[in-house]
Copies of this chain bind each other. A is one copy, B any other.
Amino acid sequence: MNYCFGVDIGGTTVKMGLFQFDGALIEKWEIKTRTENEGAAILPDVAEAIRKKLAEYELEKENILGIGVGVPAPVSENGVVNGSANLGWKYKEVKHELEDLTGIVVKVGNDANVAALGEMWKGGGLGNKNMIMVTLGTGVGGGVIVGGHILSGSNGAGGEIGHICVNYEETESCGCGSFGCLEQYASATGIVRLTKKRLAKDDKASILRNSEVSAKTVFDAVKEGDELAIEIAEEFGRYLGYALANLCVITDPSVIVIGGGVSKAGDVLFTYIKKYFEQRVFFANKDVKFALAQLGNDAGICGSAKLILD
């Protein structure tokens, strides 16, 4: 029997999974990410965790098809990262270093792209080979899957959906330094920003004036019919729906998968996204399906494993 590991390196924890060659997840666990000292211990810690797991299951290196790794940074074709703020890394030959430490073949991808691959394989995109995934969390992340493979591009920076410019009139800057990025309107943080601006504009009554403002409270208020909250949802839906229509005309997916904390609002999201998406979608893309992400925090380990099993 052959196996592989899926490893998702985040700024706080490293999520790890042991998979059978047929894709079944045997066990998943986490270790702490030690970011001090430019993250020098991260890959040795991963290698040590793998060594222990092999011993626990009485597996030999020869039984392991490879280690797939997702990291929060653009990743070059040969598995090199040129700095990751979340991990403390500067230039880091991730593939080379982890192969040296383990004696096992390693493949590396960007964490958001790898999560998209995981959702295609076992989650909201199951059965599709052409997919857009949008993760609406603190920021907006995502990935584009083309013919079953990650669109990673020439710098490993493909699928940076959060930084599509959707408003050329914006005067507040995005974290990336530019202005008008999708992330400024469709992330959890962006929804709070839109809400605060809207609340400050006039005195219109709203449930939101009496609660802590978050993406959750906004969409809860939408469900209760709060007019001001609905205005925010319309604005959110317009920016995201239009951006998705433009993404489709370039990548022609069969499904759009939406994940991240904001997606917990559920189907109400789709009401506002689809309304604007349908206004602008190119006729050849009109049959694209929408789905919620299903794997949650497991998307990364699943997609990392899929890098190996492909």
Number of chain A residues whose Cβ lies closer than 8 Å to a Cβ of chain B = 42
In the complex, the answer to whether B252 meets A161 with C-beta atoms within 8 Å is: no
Chain B residues, CB < 8 A from A168: 242, 280
In the complex, the answer to whether B282 meets A157 with C-beta atoms within 8 Å is: yes
In the complex, the answer to whether B159 meets A130 with C-beta atoms within 8 Å is: no
Question: Is A12 an interface position by the 8 A CB rule?
Answer: no
Give Cα distance in the complex from A168 to B165, angstroms: 13
Give Cα distance in the complex from A163 to B247, angstroms: 11
In the complex, the answer to whether B253 meets A153 with C-beta atoms within 8 Å is: yes
Q: Which of A51-59, A144-152, A217-225, A226-234 contacts B (4 or more CB under 8 A)?
A: A144-152
Give Cα distance in the complex from A251 to B156, angstroms: 9
Give Cα distance in the complex from A242 to B285, angstroms: 22
Give Cα distance in the complex from A144 to B147, angstroms: 14
Within the complex, which residue of B74, B151, B285 is in contact with A151, where a contact is CB–CB below 8 Å? B151
| Copies held by the complex | 2
Give Cα distance in the complex from A141 to B158, angstroms: 21
Most buried by B among A151, A159, A242: A151
Question: Is A271 an interface position by the 8 A CB rule?
Answer: no
Within the complex, which residue of B128, B149, B246, B284 is in contact with A165, where a contact is CB–CB below 8 Å? B246
In the complex, the answer to whether A154 meets B129 with C-beta atoms within 8 Å is: yes
The 9 A-B residue pairs with the shortest CB-CB distance in the complex, in nearest-first order: A153-B252, A157-B284, A154-B254, A130-B154, A158-B252, A157-B252, A160-B249, A163-B282, A163-B249
Contact sample, A vs B, 12 pairs, CB 8 Å cutoff: A74-B284, A129-B154, A130-B153, A146-B153, A146-B158, A157-B285, A160-B284, A165-B246, A168-B242, A176-B283, A246-B246, A247-B250
Write the residues of chain A forming the contact surface with B, with a CB cutoff of 8 angstroms: 74, 128-130, 144, 146-147, 149, 151-161, 163-165, 168, 176-178, 242, 245-247, 249-254, 280, 282-285, 287
